[in-house]
Amino acid sequence: MVGDGWFALIHQLSRDIVSICQSENLNIPQAGEIKQKYGGLRFSVYCGNSEMDRIVTAAENGSEFICETCGAPGQLRNEHKASAPMYTVCDLHNPPPLSLHEDELAVIITKQIEAIGTRRGCNEVT
Ligand SMILES: [Zn+2]
């Protein structure tokens, strides 16, 4: 699951991926699993290229400084039990509330990518 606070980050990442596709004349890749793991964003793209991998990694790293709940500057925390999950949140949202299930967000993001660019199949390697 990921929270609304990362929406702008994910939206920008989606736009950047579409821009790369347009400038390099590639098909729009399919967004895969989008989730929070160890307090940070995890975003998988099927059939992406190395440039897409680079910006995805940058967004994932950036998520560790953005409150997952509200989007304000945050920090990676694990102030609870050792077994408790980690979160990136601001002071106001520590501890964070439960948020969207990852499947719901994946649907939202997929629709967003479709809205930005026409989604086709994976790029075929020739
Ligand atoms: Zn917050």
Task: Identify whether 29 is part of a domain.
Answer: yes
Task: Identify whether 125 is part of a domain.
Answer: no
Q: Which residue has the higher pLDDT, 101 or 58?
A: 58
85 pLDDT higher than 80:
no
Distance (angstroms) between ligand 1 centre and the Cα of 86 equals 15
Task: Identify whether 78 is part of a domain.
Answer: yes
Helical spans, DSSP H, in the chain: 7-24, 50-62, 102-116
Q: Please tell me the distance from the alpha carbon of residue 17 to that of residue 26, in angstroms, as a whole number.
A: 10
Distance (angstroms) between ligand 1 centre and the Cα of 116 equals 28
CB atoms within 10 A of CB 39: 18
Task: Identify whether 31 is part of a domain.
Answer: yes
- Residue 126's pLDDT band (boundaries 50, 70, 90)? very low
Task: Identify whether 86 is part of a domain.
Answer: yes
Residues whose Cβ atom is located within 5 A of ion ligand 1: 67, 69-70, 72, 90, 92-93
Closest CA to 56 of 26, 88, 74, 33: 33
Task: Give the number of domains in the chain.
Answer: 1
Task: Identify whether 124 is part of a domain.
Answer: no
Rg (CA), the chain: 15
Task: Identify whether 123 is part of a domain.
Answer: no
Task: Identify whether 126 is part of a domain.
Answer: no
Q: What is the pTM of this model?
A: 0.73
Q: Which domain holds residue 96?
A: 4-116
